[in-house]
A and B are shown apart, each in its own frame.
Chain A
Amino acid sequence: MERFTVYSGIVAPMDRANVDTDMIIPKQFLKSVKRTGFGPQLFDQLRYLDEGQPGMDNDLRPVNTDFVLNQSRYQNAGILLTRENFGCGSSREHAPWALLDYGFRVILSSGFADIFYNNCFKNGILPITLSPKIIEKLFVEVESTEGFGLEINLRNQNVTWPSGETIDFEIDGFYKNCLLNGLDEIGMTLEKSDRIHEYEKQRQKICPWLFEDLEE
């Protein structure tokens, strides 16, 4: 996983609450058995006026020019500004895969759904929760200032505005560490193999029926 330390980018505003993972990446694109290549289908239902299917040439499709990511001023945006309960619904990790593949490294919202939030960290995306008041202020700024960008510093846990003003954000220590160092969580857990075996032995004494497959 790619490390995350400091990131600067243009902000794209998606002024909508309860954006679900079906909306982030519609189900017809979940049929891939790969982790990459989902970017062109990010928000497919909103980006295009027709129904997208795997293998279609997106250049030939009717574009929804009203949709924020289709507006020229938000091309190359790397930070997505959204509203509460972003990423609700299905647990599909294809949602962060699609966001990352498209080019988003940071998502700003007043609240995220649990599974999606968790999935972001496994893929080098930083979801930042800010107060509804700050989110509101950001929407106003982004709309009124073309090319509005932010700098995100994970180590210092702050967001710097073009004016130089900074705002702190909260993040769990474990998640922060994983992102900063691009850690392999599975490798880390496997270092605890002895501890896991020990747990299994202890637990087996209390609930032997759960470990019948290990008896022989």
Chain B
Amino acid sequence: MAGKTLYDKLYQCHVVEERGDGTNLIYIDRHLLHEVTSPQAFEGLHLAKRNLWRTGTNFGVPDHNVPTLHIERMAGIEGIVDPFSKLQVETLSRNCSAHGIDHFGMLDDRQGIVHVVGPEQGLIQPGMTVVCGDSHTSTLGALGALAQGIGTSEVEHVLATQCLLQKKADNMLIQIDGELQDTVTAKDIILFVIGKIGTAGGTGYTIEFGGTTIQDLSVEGRMTVCNMAIEAGARAGLIAVDQKTIDFLKGRPFAPTGKFRHLAEEYWRSLVSDHDAVFDKIVRVDASQIEPQVTWGTSPEMVTGITGCVPVQETTSGQALVLACDYMGLRQGQPVTEIMLDRVFIGSCTNARIEDLRRAAALVKGKKIAASIKQALVVPGSGLVRDLAESEGLDDIFLQAGFEWRQPGCSMCLAMNGDKLGEKEHCASTSNRNFEGRQGFGGRTHLVSPAMAAAAAIVGHFVDIRNWS
């Protein structure tokens, strides 16, 4: 009999009941909540007079709507100017308190983007099934957990039953081997992969990322890769557990301690695909071929290396290319280094962990942002990331270069708070979606790595950071 993939293992040990019609009842070990997708779920629960199945698996933190300006933040919920945002953050806080759910409020130093806070606190552990009403829950698969985004009806289902009804996905392996070029990072890997398989390439699959390049990445880098599995169409990304994963969990507040620590570690080590596991699809990537990546269009698959150009008609399906060039204000065949930028955003659950900020700061140190840049924001992924960065003096490096140093939250990744692009403004962004209007009405997003965004802020347009001095 063929061996099992990591996904097979994780899925099978969470089946509560097989229904016989391909849909199974799956047990959920961890449920994360944020303010945008949970209010209607709690409302449904209350209307049906149902209780929480198991309080202790739930954890809440506001992130999408929270202001990132220090002055607005100091007053907590009361300080949120937008009444709709305020109501959502209040509602999350009220619902969590009413049900006894652990949550970090806006004034808590540990508050941050849900997918950054989860791993940071040890709330996410290998072998868990994890869900959240947010598609970038896929980030957490980097720890060997089966982590998936769900809709609000499913949030309610998990609150009430601790289970979900789900079909098993197919297995895809993206095997990435070889050494990365200098300054090429996890973000470039995943953008390159999406460019290769397309945004629907992973639909219906759980993607495991494997190979020596993935093994060589830090756990943080692995999170960046799994974060954008959803942009490749897959609900979940996965990376096998290794010593780095286990070391990452050590000493985190919610990680197992005492008598369970050893037992847990032993179990975690089994969370790898068997050597003879069969995948439904395998994609191989030679890491040494990956250049720093830049998206030029309105879908993450519209991406090229820094030495590349916006394609011309025959290389992308005609209509999509024309619509994208029109929206982005670019012409076919234009080199991406010619794209002039208005704003720079370093942040989001893709790239706002400490490693990302260090990489960006290293490029910025002792330099100034270009005069043509209207705004350059650095938004740490959590309060703890911010504190650590400040203790290393990264905030000073950014501030002296002309960046703004903000409080943690989703911020300009989706522009639900006050941080947004103006119409037709081009932004170098370390986030994950370049959809029309994502960062503000009429805004034009280019997805890049933190180092690429930092360099673009200094020069005013994209540059090949492999030649940075």
Cβ-defined contact, A88 with B437, below 8 A: no
* Contact stretch, chosen from B162-170, B218-226, B361-369, B372-380: B162-170
Cβ-defined contact, A190 with B160, below 8 A: yes
Q: A45-B436, A112-B203, A203-B27 are in contact. List 9 more A-B contacts (CB 8 A).
A: A22-B433, A27-B414, A31-B85, A32-B84, A90-B414, A90-B433, A91-B133, A93-B40, A212-B56
A137 at the interface (CB under 8 A from B): no
Residues A157-216 near B (CB distance < 8 A) = 172-174, 185-186, 189-190, 192, 195-196, 199-200, 203, 206-210, 212-214
Cβ-defined contact, B204 with A114, below 8 A: yes
Query: Which listed residue, A96, A174, A199, touches B22 by the CB 8 Å rule?
Result: A174
A14 at the interface (CB under 8 A from B): no
Cβ-defined contact, A196 with B163, below 8 A: yes
B227 at the interface (CB under 8 A from A): no
Query: Which listed residue, B135, B151, B317, touches A17 by the CB 8 Å rule?
Result: B317
Cβ-defined contact, A93 with B152, below 8 A: yes
Query: Which listed residue, B17, B43, B156, B260, touches A33 by the CB 8 Å rule?
Result: B43
Could you say which residues of chain B place their CB within 8 Å of the CB of A115? 135, 149-151, 235
Q: In the bound complex, what is the Cα–Cα distance between A210 and B149 (angstroms)?
A: 21
* Contact stretch, chosen from A3-11, A73-81, A117-125: A117-125
B65 at the interface (CB under 8 A from A): yes
Question: Nearest Cβ in chain A — how far from B308, in angstroms?
Answer: 20
Cβ-defined contact, A189 with B151, below 8 A: no
A89 at the interface (CB under 8 A from B): yes
Question: Nearest Cβ in chain B — how far from A199, in angstroms?
Answer: 4
10 nearest A-B pairs in the assembled complex, by CB-CB distance: A213-B56, A31-B84, A122-B153, A209-B256, A51-B441, A209-B260, A33-B39, A93-B151, A119-B151, A91-B135
Cβ-defined contact, B17 with A35, below 8 A: no
Can you list, as one digit per residue, whether each of A102-120 has a CB less than 8 Å from chain B (1) or not (0)?
Answer: 0000000001111100110
B161 at the interface (CB under 8 A from A): yes
Residues B239-285 near A (CB distance < 8 A) = 256, 260, 263-264, 267
Question: Nearest Cβ in chain B — how far from A64, in angstroms?
Answer: 13
B348 at the interface (CB under 8 A from A): no
Q: How large is the interface on A (under 10, 10 to 19, 20 to 34, 35 or more residues)?
A: 35 or more
Cβ-defined contact, A174 with B161, below 8 A: no
Cβ-defined contact, B16 with A196, below 8 A: yes
Could you say which residues of chain A place their CB within 8 Å of the CB of B134? 90-91
Residue in chain B with minimal CB distance to A177:
B21
Q: In the bound complex, what is the Cα–Cα distance between A8 and B91 (angstroms)?
A: 39
Cβ-defined contact, B416 with A186, below 8 A: no
Q: In the bound complex, what is the Cα–Cα distance between A196 and B54 (angstroms)?
A: 11
A85 at the interface (CB under 8 A from B): yes
Q: In the bound complex, what is the Cα–Cα distance between A123 and B151 (angstroms)?
A: 11
A101 at the interface (CB under 8 A from B): no
Cβ-defined contact, A90 with B57, below 8 A: no
> With A92-B37, A214-B54 known to touch, is A30 a contact of B154 (CB < 8 Å)?
no
Q: In the bound complex, what is the Cα–Cα distance between A28 and B149 (angstroms)?
A: 20
B48 at the interface (CB under 8 A from A): yes
Cβ-defined contact, B256 with A33, below 8 A: no
Q: In the bound complex, what is the Cα–Cα distance between A185 and B433 (angstroms)?
A: 32
B466 at the interface (CB under 8 A from A): no
Could you say which residues of chain A place their CB within 8 Å of the CB of B88? 31, 33
B181 at the interface (CB under 8 A from A): no
Q: What are 20 A-B pairs at a CB distance below 8 A?
A: A16-B320, A17-B319, A20-B299, A33-B43, A33-B87, A85-B199, A89-B435, A92-B36, A96-B151, A122-B151, A174-B22, A185-B153, A185-B165, A186-B160, A195-B17, A196-B25, A209-B256, A212-B56, A213-B54, A214-B56
Q: In the bound complex, what is the Cα–Cα distance between A186 and B47 (angstroms)?
A: 13
Q: In the bound complex, what is the Cα–Cα distance between A208 and B125 (angstroms)?
A: 13
Cβ-defined contact, B435 with A207, below 8 A: no
Cβ-defined contact, A23 with B25, below 8 A: no
Residue of B91, B134, B414 ringed by the most chain A CB atoms within 10 A: B414
Can you list, as one digit per residue, whether each of A27-64 has a CB less than 8 Å from chain B (1) or not (0)?
Answer: 11011111100000000010000010010000000000
Residue in chain B with minimal CB distance to A86:
B200
Q: In the bound complex, what is the Cα–Cα distance between A190 and B160 (angstroms)?
A: 8
B50 at the interface (CB under 8 A from A): yes
Question: Nearest Cβ in chain A — how far from B7, in angstroms?
Answer: 14
Could you say which residues of chain A place their CB within 8 Å of the CB of B200? 18, 84-85, 88, 111, 113
Could you say which residues of chain B place their CB within 8 Å of the CB of A123? 153
Question: Nearest Cβ in chain B — how far from A105, in angstroms?
Answer: 17
Could you say which residues of chain A place their CB within 8 Å of the CB of B256? 209
Cβ-defined contact, A90 with B135, below 8 A: yes
Cβ-defined contact, B17 with A192, below 8 A: yes
Cβ-defined contact, A174 with B29, below 8 A: no
Q: In the bound complex, what is the Cα–Cα distance between A199 and B27 (angstroms)?
A: 8
Cβ-defined contact, A34 with B55, below 8 A: no
Can you list, as one digit per residue, whether each of B136-151 has a CB less than 8 Å from chain A (1) or not (0)?
Answer: 0000000000000111
Could you say which residues of chain A place their CB within 8 Å of the CB of B23? 172, 174
Cβ-defined contact, A15 with B299, below 8 A: no
Can you list, as one digit per residue, whether each of B10-51 has a CB less than 8 Å from chain A (1) or not (0)?
Answer: 000100110101110101010000001101100100001010
Query: Which listed residue, B84, B167, B264, B415, touches A209 by the CB 8 Å rule?
Result: B264
Could you say which residues of chain A place their CB within 8 Å of the CB of B127? 207
> With A93-B153, A186-B160, A207-B264 known to touch, is A195 a contact of B16 (CB < 8 Å)?
yes
Could you say which residues of chain B place their CB within 8 Å of the CB of A147? none
Q: In the bound complex, what is the Cα–Cα distance between A199 and B16 (angstroms)?
A: 6
B331 at the interface (CB under 8 A from A): no
Q: In the bound complex, what is the Cα–Cα distance between A13 and B462 (angstroms)?
A: 38
Cβ-defined contact, A31 with B87, below 8 A: yes
